[in-house]
Amino acid sequence: MATILVADDSAVIRAVLRHHLEEEGYHVEVAVDGPGTIEMMRRHQPDMVLLDIVMPGLDGREVLSRVKAEEALQDTPIVFLTSRTGSDEIVAALRAGAQDYLKKPFEPPELLARVGAAVRTKRLQDALRERSAELDQISRTDALTGVFNRRHLDEELRRFVSLAERHKQTVGVVMFDIDHFKRINDTFGHEGGDAVLKELTRRVQSVVRTEDLLGRWGPSVVGRWGGEEFLLVLPQTDIEGARVVGERARSAVAAAPFTIGDRRVDITVSGGCAAGTESAAVLIHKADAALYGAKKAGRNRLVMATAPP
C-alpha cells in the first residue's frame, strides 16, 4: 500500500483529499505547515506528497527546495496543490523539481490520475535504484567466494588511508597466499581448487571477530585480491593489531584438514602484514614483500613488514 502525505493548512482540503485517497486504497498521512511537512517526510518516507504552495511556516517552494537538498527525500515525487492559475508560478515549480501540479478545486478522477502517476514514478525510481545497487554490489564481489574483489579492496584501502592521514592513525593490511596452490589444482582439478578457496574464505571470515570488523570509519574488509591471494584491510589498526588478526586467520586455515571430494587435505597459507599512513600502493607493496619473506622462511607463517623475515 502506497503512503501519501497530504500537506495543506486547510482542514477541509485535507479531509476531502484523505477521503478520496483512502477510498482508492492509499495510506494517508497529513501535515499542516511547511516545517511539519518536512518532518513527516523524514518520519514516514511517503511514496509521494500532495503539497499546497501557500503554507504557513515555509511555503511549498521553500519546502521543495529543502527536500531536494536531503538525499533521503530528494527523489520523493511532489505534486503541488494550487488555486492560482498563473503559468509562471507553475513553470517555476516544475523547474524547481516538482513532479506535477493540481489546481483547486479538483475533480476526483484527475486527483487520482496524478497521484497514481506520481506513485508509479516513485516505484520505478526505487526499482532502478535497487537494481543499480545490486549491479554495483556484483561489480565489487568475487563471484566464486562471495567476498569483495580487488576493485572494492583497492577503493576501501584508499579511503581508509585518506582518513588515517587526516586523523593521524594507521591502517593495517594483511595479505595471504595459499601455499602450493598449483599442486592442489594439478591434483584435484580446478573444481577442487575452487572448493579450497571457498572453504578458506569461510574460515577466515569466521575468526575475524565483530570488533575487528567494525570501526568509526566503517567495517574492515575481507576480500580476494586475485587468484589464490586474499587481503584484509583493517582501519584504525597498527602493525601489532594486523599481526594478531592475520595470525588468527592463518591458524584457522591450518587448524583442520580441508575436504576435497572424498579426501582430506592439509592446507596452509603464508601471509604478510603492514600498517601505516603511506599510500595504498606502498602498504600493499610492504605486505606483499613480507608475504614473500614468509614463503622463503618455510611457509605457513605470518611475517610483519617491520620485522626481518
Catalytic residues: 228
- Backbone angle region of 236, left / alpha / beta, with phi > 0 → left and psi within -120 to 50 → alpha: left
Half-sphere exposure (Cβ direction) of 22: Cα atoms closer than 13 Å: 10
Cell 530528494 appears where? 74
Are 250 and 200 in contact by the 8 Å Cβ rule? The answer is no
| Main-chain phi, psi angles of 114, to 5 degrees | -70, -40
At 57, give phi and psi (nearest 5°): 85, -70
Q: Where are the beta strands (DSSP E) in the chain?
A: 3-7, 27-31, 48-52, 78-82, 100-103, 171-178, 221-226, 229-234, 258-260, 263-265, 269-276, 302-304
Nearest to 239 by CA among 208, 214, 211, 276: 276
Residue found by looking up cell 577503493 in the block: 155
